[in-house]
């Protein structure tokens, strides 16, 4: 399905009811809005079918961010995390989604941070999954070097600096190190790829810094990260925690998991996520 929001057609899908019968009334269930990674090379589809599990507790909305998947692409020079965060709010307003729980994974994490900091009274909660408030390339590269050696570290650095001479096979070696499970050829074949945004978004990642914006977030927040994640490591999650106001956030490090922890440690992951969703819904 598509809906036009501020002149942009955004693609979305919905899983699970928002209203359920309860005796003589209808009970409103929480809505979780999922923001995928990027830039340009991903869409909502890698969340499926895993996040169907959340329909036990909530309605789940899959959104293709602007410039991604089946949403309008538009000029890449206009793309910013702040703009995308504002569109998330406008999208929820257009669908009359009140107090959403917004989960931002990877590149979607800064979008969720922008949304939560620029519209602090709008979200019911935030889940910052495998996310960062600032991309510290040197520190990320150092982590790859310590775990996997100089050659891999050099490929990672060159790739994120936009070196187009990096061969696909070389990057595939690095991509495989993002965790025990990573999306492969099958998942990739499902995704319309916006190569222009991939290039522009890569440059944006090197420049953005939302660290000071974290203090404006008021909603309950779960900061979740895989223990083995090399691209948004535990220290990136700890940095987010340091910037959030006292008392609103909880850090959850998923042991034995990488960048896609719901695949690596599903029992551990879903226990944590469902507990958070339930606590927000019940106002605990």
105 Cα distance to chain centroid: 2
CA dist 229 and 225 (Å) reads 7
Residue 210, both tokens: 């939302």
Q: Which helix H or strand E contains 130, and what residues bound it?
A: none
CA dist 156 and 144 (Å) reads 8
Burial 198-226 (b: 16+ CB within 10 A, else e): bebbbebbeebebeebbeebbbbbbbbbb
pLDDT string in tens for the chain (284-residue length)? 999 999 999 999 999 999 999 999 999 999 999 999 999 999 999 999 999 999 999 999 999 999 999 999 999 998 999 999 999 999 999 999 999 999 999 999 999 999 999 999 999 999 999 999 999 999 999 999 999 999 999 999 999 999 989 999 999 999 999 999 999 999 999 999 999 999 999 999 999 999 999 999 999 999 999 999 999 999 999 999 999 999 999 999 999 999 999 999 999 999 999 999 999 998 86
Could you tell me the CA-to-CA distances from 273 to 133, 224, 250 in Å, in that order? 21, 9, 11
Could you tell me the domains of the chain?
Answer: 2-133+188-281 (3.40.50.1820)
Q: Exposed, middle or buried by CB within 10 Å (0-12, 13-18, 19+), for 13?
A: middle
Predicted pLDDT at 284: 62
Helices (H), 119-227: 137-148, 150-160, 168-175, 185-188, 195-207
φ, ψ of residue 136 in degrees (nearest 5): -95, 90
Closest of 168, 184, 173, 160 to residue 45, by C-alpha: 184
CB atoms within 10 A of CB 275: 15
Q: Exposed, middle or buried by CB within 10 Å (0-12, 13-18, 19+), for 27?
A: exposed
- Tens of pLDDT, residue by residue over 247-272, are 999 999 999 999 999 999 999 999 99
160 Cα distance to chain centroid: 18
Closest of 280, 277, 276, 230 to residue 252, by C-alpha: 276
- Tens of pLDDT, residue by residue over 147-201, are 999 999 999 999 999 998 999 999 999 999 999 999 999 999 999 999 999 999 9
Q: What is the CA radius of gyration of the chain?
A: 18
């Amino acid at each position: 399905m598509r809906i036009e929001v501020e002149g942009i057609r955004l693609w979305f899908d919905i899983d699970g009811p928002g209203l359920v019968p309860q005796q003589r009334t209808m009970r409103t269930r929480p809505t979780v809005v999922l923001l995928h990674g990027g830039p340009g090379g991903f869409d909502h589809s890698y969340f499926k079918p895993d996040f169907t599990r959340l329909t036990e507790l909530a309605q789940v909305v899959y959104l293709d961010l602007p410039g991604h998947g089946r949403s309008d692409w538009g000029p890449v020079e206009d793309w910013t995390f702040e703009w995308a965060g504002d569109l998330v709010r406008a999208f929820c307003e257009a669908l009359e989604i009140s107090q959403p729980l917004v989960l931002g994974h990877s590149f979607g994490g800064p979008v969720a941070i922008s949304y939560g900091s620029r519209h602090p009274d709008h979200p019911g909660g935030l889940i910052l999954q495998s996310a960062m408030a600032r991309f510290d390339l040197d520190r990320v590269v150092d982590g790859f070097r310590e775990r996997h050696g100089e050659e891999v570290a050099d490929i990672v650095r060159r790739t994120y600096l936009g070196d187009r001479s990096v061969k696909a096979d070389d990057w595939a070696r690095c991509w495989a190190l993002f965790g025990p499970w990573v999306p492969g050829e099958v998942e990739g074949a499902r995704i319309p790829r916006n190569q222009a945004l991939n290039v522009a978004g890569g440059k944006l990642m090197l420049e953005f810094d939302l660290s000071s914006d974290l203090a404006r977030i008021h909603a309950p927040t779960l900061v979740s990260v895989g223990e083995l994640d090399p691209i948004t490591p535990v220290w990136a999650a700890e940095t987010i925690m340091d910037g959030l106001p006292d008392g609103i956030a909880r850090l959850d490090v998923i042991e034995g998991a990488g960048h896609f922890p719901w695949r690596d440690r599903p029992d551990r992951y879903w226990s944590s996520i469902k507990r958070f969703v339930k606590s927000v819904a019940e106002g605990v």
